[in-house]
Amino acid sequence: MKTLGYACTSAHAPLAPFSFERRAPRANDIVMEILYCGVCHSDLHWARNDWGWTVFPAIPGHEIVGRVIEIGPDVAKYKIGDYVAVGCMVDSCQHCDQCRKDEEQLCREGNTGTYGGFDRFTKEHTLGGYSKHLVVREEFVLRMPDGLDLAKAAPLLCAGITTYSPLKTWKAGPGSRVGVIGLGGLGHMAVKLAAGMGAHVTVLSRSPDKAEDARALGAAALLVSTDDDAMAKAANGFDLIIDTVPVKHDLNPYMPLLDVDGTLVIVGQIGPVAELSTVPLILGRRRIAGSPIGGIRETQEMLDFCAEKNILPDCEMIRMDEINEAFERMEKSDVRYRFVIDMASLQVG
């Protein structure tokens, strides 16, 4: 089918309207009309080729909410008119040990990204959610729970699951002390979700002016990461720290904050970090880990958890043609806390 999106043709080009074809639905595919798409910092990394593997023309967008408008003959879970969502993956091998235990994000063959992947059958380059329509196999489609505000829910599909998954893996809950480095899209969801699980949450930020926001989001306090005295006083005070910083940074100041057996989980920057001292790791039996998004079962669990607890991202709605300005603002951390594109603003024809 013919559709319209916003694509960039090089790392230096702004995003601009782009007409393209979505594949005809296969037997187990749904076709969705995209209603809303969140703007993740990964979209910006992808558009600017920060990771060095962007395929152009590129259409970012992996926080997608929409409505089913067509289904293949074998689709069993969804019907036309259902409100559904798609996150960062659209396929995986479905038979390896990781896929069989609902951890498709860790598929041994590699999952197929919503953008920047390659369709497992046609080998075509996948194009993301800054567009009017999407064709996805039903196993990678999430059901929007009743009562969750569709216009605000889109960021749950990446920022939500990427922070929910490590909070579950490291068992955040009543009695646990959780730190969140960087109060942006992922960070503000980490705060809301950890607080919703009953943990004691502290934001670690460069920005003292976010202190009031941090408390409103559910944190007990904001610790300014450049305040050496405050950082020293917080030593040994955390069981789990989720690091959402999107650029190369120094982990050394954060390691002493972990208690014995505490873990710092990197979900932000992909690539080298500044030179790291192993002293606090060894002496305090502290750990550094990483975590990518989450599986489909866990993503549905997260959506249902958010519906039950009424947890929603703080969104600033934008039109599709405001995306370049939004990218510039996101680069300066000037968003509280997630841009969401209202796809009705993208008119075909």
Tell whether the torsion through CA atoms of 77, 80, 86 and 89 is positive or negative. positive
Residue 56's identity, in one-letter code, is: F
Question: Which lies closer to ligand NAP via its Cβ, residue 3 or residue 205?
Answer: 205
What residue is closest to ligand NAP based on CB? 184
Q: CA-CA distance, 61 to 40, in Å (whole number)? A: 7
Indicate whether 245 belongs to the interface with ligand NAP (CB under 6 A): yes
Indicate whether 42 belongs to the interface with Zn ion (CB under 5 A): yes
Q: Whose CA is closest to 312, among 174, 218, 206, 237?
A: 218
Indicate whether 144 belongs to the interface with ligand NAP (CB under 6 A): no
Contacted entry of ligand NAP, Zn ion, none for residue 45, CB cut-off 5 to 8 Å set by kind? ligand NAP
Q: Count the residues of the shown chain that bind Zn ion, applying the rule CB under 5 A.
A: 3
Indicate whether 269 belongs to the interface with Zn ion (CB under 5 A): no
Indicate whether 244 belongs to the interface with Zn ion (CB under 5 A): no
Contacted entry of Zn ion, ligand NAP, none for residue 184, CB cut-off 5 to 8 Å set by kind? ligand NAP
Parallel, antiparallel or unpaired: strands 338-342 and 315-318: parallel
Stretch that binds Zn ion, among 130-138, 151-159, 164-172, 225-233 (CB under 5 A): 151-159
Contacted entry of ligand NAP, Zn ion, none for residue 286, CB cut-off 5 to 8 Å set by kind? none
- Footprint on residues 325-344 left by ligand NAP (CB under 6 A): 330, 333
Question: Which lies closer to ligand NAP via its Cβ, residue 28 or residue 169?
Answer: 169
Window 247-286: contact mask with ligand NAP (x via CB under 6 A): x-x-----------------xxx-----------------
Indicate whether 87 belongs to the interface with ligand NAP (CB under 6 A): no
Q: CA-CA distance, 98 to 103, in Å (whole number)? A: 5
Beta strands in the chain (DSSP E): 2-7, 16-21, 29-38, 64-71, 83-86, 89-91, 112-113, 133-137, 142-143, 177-181, 200-205, 221-224, 238-243, 258-266, 287-290, 315-318, 338-342
Q: CA-CA distance, 94 to 168, in Å (whole number)? A: 23
Phi and psi angles of residue 108, each rounded to the nearest 5 degrees, phi first: -60, -25
Q: CA-CA distance, 212 to 7, in Å (whole number)? A: 37
Phi and psi angles of residue 303, each rounded to the nearest 5 degrees, phi first: -60, -45
Stretch that binds Zn ion, among 32-40, 45-53, 143-151, 263-271 (CB under 5 A): 32-40
Contacted entry of Zn ion, ligand NAP, none for residue 216, CB cut-off 5 to 8 Å set by kind? none
Q: How many angstroms separate the Cα of 271 from the Cα of each of 13, 39, 220, 262?
A: 24, 21, 31, 22
- Footprint on residues 182-211 left by ligand NAP (CB under 6 A): 182-187, 205-207, 210
Window 146-175: contact mask with ligand NAP (x via CB under 6 A): ------------xx--x-------------
By the 10 Å C-beta count (0-12 exposed, 13-18 middle, 19+ buried), 169 is classed as middle
Closest distance to ligand NAP from the beta carbon of 203 (Å): 7
User: How many other CB atoms sit within 10 Å of the CB of residue 261?
Assistant: 10
Binding stretches for ligand NAP (CB under 6 A): 40-42, 45, 158-159, 162, 182-187, 205-207, 210, 244-247, 249, 267-269, 291-293, 330, 333
